[in-house]
Amino acid sequence: MPILYHHWLSPSARFVRALLVEKRVAFELRLEKEWERRPAFLALNPAGEVPVLVMDDGHAYSGTMAIAEYLEEVIPEPPMLIGDAEDRYEIRRLTGWFHNKLGTEVTRHTVSEKLFKRFLRMGEPDSEAIRCASHNLKVHLKYISYLSERRHYLAGPQFTMADAAAAAHISVVDYFGDINWEDWPQVKEWYVRVKSRRSVRALLEDRITGLKPPAHYSELDF
């Protein structure tokens, strides 16, 4: 069975997990504390980052988008890149937007400050970074709201890679209770829709001992 190295609140690992479930690939999830820089893990991926997917033949795949595109090529059904070249462009643009913009401007700060520094005590929390992430989050929620007013899923009528990417990041931010859902009814409608999928639901089962998410976190209708 393929093995996916992940850690709890890595949005990139959550994204690949969701794709694997969508594509009905059975896999074993293995926790990798990448910050421990375990030599055997570095041998799998010199970048030292999750996700790493090890297939049955022992080949290791790393690099979030490289894995996603590879899965799309070797397991085309159900497709996570749908439609013609223009549609596929839009899906990839949004997927990149969530991983790069939302990731850099929000999720990275949230995880670094609230998980690594505050909870795991690996350094002094930086309240400026937390404020910054909180401000940027609103800009991104506004964008998701704009998209979901116009489309059933974020890139069009069907669930695609773009929804998997957005759900991966939003679920991490929501673990810390950082989203005031009452203010974002349109985003909530989209999130209720993706939460009802097995692929996203599976992400919401992870718990970090001693660090509880808010009560609504894994509720499908909240």
Do residues 175 and 83 lie in contact, with contact meaning Cβ atoms separated by under 8 Å? no
Q: Cis (ω within 30 of 0) for the bond into 46?
A: no
Asked if residue 160 binds a second copy (CB under 8 A), the reply is no
Asked if residue 142 binds a second copy (CB under 8 A), the reply is no
Q: Which is nearer to a second copy, 92 or 195 (CB)?
A: 92
Q: Which is nearer to a second copy, 87 or 178 (CB)?
A: 87
Q: Is residue 36 classed exposed, middle or buried when 0-12, 13-18 and 19+ CB atoms within 10 A define those classes?
A: exposed
Taking contact as CB under 8 A, which single stretch among the options 81-89, 113-121, 150-158, 214-222 is the one that binds a second copy? 81-89
| Closest distance of CB 47 from a second copy, Å | 6
State how far the Cα of 186 lies from the Cα of 189, in Å rounded to an integer. Answer: 5
State the residue for tokens 């800009």: 139
Asked if residue 93 binds a second copy (CB under 8 A), the reply is yes
| Closest distance of CB 129 from a second copy, Å | 17
State how far the Cα of 98 lies from the Cα of 219, in Å rounded to an integer. Answer: 23
Under the rule (CB under 8 A), what is the footprint of a second copy?
46-47, 59, 61-67, 69-70, 73-74, 85-86, 88-89, 92-93, 95-97, 101, 143
